[in-house]
A and B are shown apart, each in its own frame.
Chain A
Amino acid sequence: MRILVIEDDKEAAGYMLKGLGESGHVADHATDGEDGLAMASDGGYDVLIVDRMLPKLDGLTVVERLRAEGHQEPILFLSALGDVDDRVKGLKAGGDDYLVKPYAFTELLARIEALVRRRNPAEVETSFKVADLEVDLLSRRVTRGGTEIQLQPREFRLLEYLMRHAGQIVTRTMLLENVWDYHFDPQTNVIDVHISRLRTKIDKGFDTALLQTVRGAGYCLREPG
């Protein structure tokens, strides 16, 4: 992926570019809002990472102008402002996701990959398939190898989210935000327990485990191989 990072903290941006590079992405860097806007306007990026507070032109304005110009690239806000209010402002300005500093790099990576995927749905999907696991959103039926699996409503939403991001790493925070709409980190391993329950239902008794734990990052639903 081609990624544009608009971030005035050069050292932080340096780490980020290195990390993105090692993850197989090509990343450019702009140090202020004006440069960032100019580079983004030229287009060609798959995703933009924009800091909220930038010299010359603040992040919100950059994103608003890009959206006004008709740019559709997914945009992830980075900010030291972590209130729900700030988050809402960022999303209203045209951002697609909002990550509060400090963040884990794996979190950033997982989120931009999820964003790019979300932006490119071939069509409105009503069913998903990973290996022999199938989910039908309309009839709310889940089958694996033809056998129907009964899920609780929340388990269904959890699975749906994992299926939408099949093959990508999904972090605990992403699950908590998107499946439960909570913006805090519980002290106990609540998400792990929900995952392990879901895992029991969809993987137990089958030859291959589809729902995998990615150490130090999160989870990934994919066909092993």
Chain B
Amino acid sequence: MNLARTMHTTAFRMALIYLVLFGVSVFVLLGFIYWWTAGITAIQTDDTIDAEITGLSEQYRAGGVTGLATIVRERSRNERQSLYLLINPRRTALAGNLNGWPDVTTQEGGWLDFPYQRPIGGKVETHQARGRHLLLGQGYQLLVGRDTHERLRIEKIMRRSLTWAVVLTLGLGLIGGLMMSRNFLRRIEAINRTSRDIMAGDLHQRVPVSGGGDELDRLADNLNDMLEQIERLVLGMRQVTENIAHDLRSPLNRLRSRLEVTLMGEASENDYRDALQQTIDEASDLLDTFNALLNIAQAESGQLEADSKDFNLSALVRNLAELYEPVAEEKSMTLTSDVAPGITVYGNKHLMSQALANLLDNAVKYTPEGGNLTFILRNSNNRPELIVADSGPGISAEDRERVLDRFVRLEASRASPGSGLGLSLVRAVAQLHCADIELDDNLPGLKVVLRFEEQEMQQA
């Protein structure tokens, strides 16, 4: 993480923009303070001069030039800051503490700014002064001024300190901005590092979360959720691939061997026919397995939107019960269905039909003759609850979680046809519809319970 990189970060750029705005504000504020303070002292100087001129012109009116000269001489002796000069028409000094009439042009209102020589402790310094001159008549003129050296010095100090204040503000702001953006960049870098690891194939990586709950943490949380989903999908894909390899290869191999062996020996037309018929049957089984896998993959990928809407689960369950009732009856079983009316859920009606048909298929398949099947849809605390129960051999507690996985067929069921995918589809469809699935002991038999999320109840 170097300086050039830091300067390219959004955080740094924002810090910089803020800094410029802040710097301008500070500059304007301090400038105003300076202008105000300096202005007031200048006005004070002018007021003092005006007041003295007013006083002295009264003295002139009362005592004439001679009287004025006396006063001026007196004041010149006492005053240190005020400057006086009274000249006659020949521009000769009559009284005052200035050595000569300053050689500057007079401004409007008789004001003038001028330098003058001031003796301080044996040395002579050039000081700045401001004054106003007054025409007394008959060529006599009076100049009253004040030394502004001290004022100008204070103004200069003020200017310097205010400039420093601005520079310091900018400097500190810049350092702060750099630190802030470095911190930001460090956290972004952590996210980038995680992404690179994941791209390199390590799907378990997660973006670090600082725990402060700020925007970056929320971003990290969202990224982690997304990664979770991606990992789940990728694992699902991998599992599908493995399963296809596992369960499709062997039947395909069987199929191929049969065809090869049939071609090898001498065979009658009937043998060929038999072999072909068997091949067709096996191909159909393979296709069933394949379709089941695709259905599961579709359900597990979580794409509910494509074909989803609110559908009447009650009607769906009633129809399925009606579809399976004769099958049960043929095996001398009783199928009891108890369906609460008007239960609606959001989702994919066709996948749900398929899943429930799988449960009923299983129940019919594994329950011995004379058994009981129960198919119930009811509301339990405002949550639709769907139960498919049978009086068959059931599934032992330790196997219950396992049978939901793909291709898991318990030893007891090996003899009957099936791909071992039925319950996997049920689980995938249940998850897709945000329903909990639970396998229970029906004492005896298996009880599968699907609990849907709370639904907005609608009148049927």
Q: Residues of A at under 8 Å CB distance from B?
A: 82-85, 102, 104, 154, 180, 182-190, 193-194, 196-197, 216
Q: Classify the interface of chain A: helix, strand, loop or mixed.
A: loop
Interface size of B by Cβ–Cβ distance < 8 Å?
31
Is the pair A184, B307 in contact by a Cβ cutoff of 8 Å? no
User: Is the beta-carbon distance between B361 and A187 smaller than 8 angstroms?
Assistant: yes
**How far apart are the CA atoms of A188 and B320 in the complex, in Å?**
13
* B353 interface contact, C-beta 8 A: yes
Please name all residues of chain A whose beta carbon is closer than 8 Å to the beta carbon of B239 when the two chains form the complex: none
Q: By DSSP majority rule, is chain B's interface helix, strand, loop, or mixed?
A: helix
Contact B358–A187 (Cβ < 8 Å) = yes
Q: What are 10 residue pairs bridging A and B, where the CB atoms are less than 8 Å apart in the complex? A: A82-B291, A83-B298, A104-B280, A180-B323, A186-B323, A188-B361, A188-B364, A188-B365, A190-B323, A193-B326
Contact A182 B353 (CB under 8 A): yes
Q: Does B310 contact A (CB under 8 A)?
A: no
Binary interface encoding of chain B residues 285-327 relative to chain A, with 1 for a CB under 8 A from any of its CBs, else 0: 0011001001000100000001100000000000100111011
Q: A83-B307, A187-B358, A187-B361 are in contact. Are A193 and B418 (CB under 8 A)?
A: no
The residues of A that contact B284 with a CB separation of less than 8 Å are 104
A184 → chain B, closest Cβ, in Å? 4
> What residues on A are CB-neighbors of B322 within 8 Å?
154
Chain A residues lying within 8 Å of B288, measured Cβ to Cβ, are 185
- How many angstroms from the CA of A159 to the CA of B326 in the assembled complex? 16
B287–A183 CB distance below 8 A: no
**Cross-chain contact of B353 among A83, A85, A184, A187 (Cβ < 8 A):** A184
Contact B326 A194 (CB under 8 A): yes
A85 and B319 contacting across the interface, CB-CB below 8 Å: no
Contact, CB under 8 Å: A183 / B364: no
Instruction: Find out whether the CB atom of A190 lies under 8 angstroms from the CB atom of B327.
Output: yes
Q: With A and B bound together, what is the CA distance between A189 and B331 in angstroms?
A: 12
User: How far, in whole Å, are A193 and B324 apart by their CA atoms in the complex?
Assistant: 9
Are B327 and A84 in contact, CB atoms less than 8 angstroms apart? no
User: Which B residues lie within 8 Å of A216 (CB)?
Assistant: 277
Q: Is the Cβ of A188 less than 8 Å from the Cβ of B306?
A: no
Q: Which of B291, B294, B307, B327 contacts A188 (CB 8 A)?
A: B327
Give which listed residue, A83, A193, A194, contacts B306 with CB less than 8 A. A83
Residues of chain B contacted by A84 (CB below 8 angstroms): 307, 350
Chain A CB within 8 A of B354 CB: yes
Q: Please name the 6 residue pairs, one residue from A and one from B, whose CB atoms are nearest each other, closest first.
A: A187-B361, A193-B326, A184-B354, A193-B327, A188-B361, A186-B357
| CB contact between B422 and one of A82, A83, A185, A187 (< 8 Å): that residue | A187
Are B330 and A193 neighbours in the complex by a CB distance under 8 Å?
Answer: yes
Interface flag for B417 (CB, 8 Å): yes
B334 to chain A, nearest CB (A): 15
B307: chain A residues within 8 A (beta carbon): 83-85
Report how far A183 CA is from B283 CA in the complex, Å: 20
Return B40 CB to nearest CB of chain A, in Å: 82
Nearest neighbor of B319 in chain A, beta-carbon distance: A180
Residues of B within 8 A of A83 (CB): 298, 306-307
CA distance A33 to B360 in the complex (A): 43
Taking CB atoms, residues of chain B closer than 8 Å to A187 are 357-358, 361, 365, 417-418, 422
Measured between C-beta atoms, what is the minimum distance from A75 to chain B in Å? 23
CA distance A185 to B284 in the complex (A): 11
- Please give me the residue from chain A that is nearest to B298 by CB atom: A83
Chain A residues near B319 (CB-CB < 8 A): 180
Question: B387-422 interface mask toward A, CB cutoff 8 Å, 1 = contact, 0 = none?
Answer: 000000000000000000000000000000110001
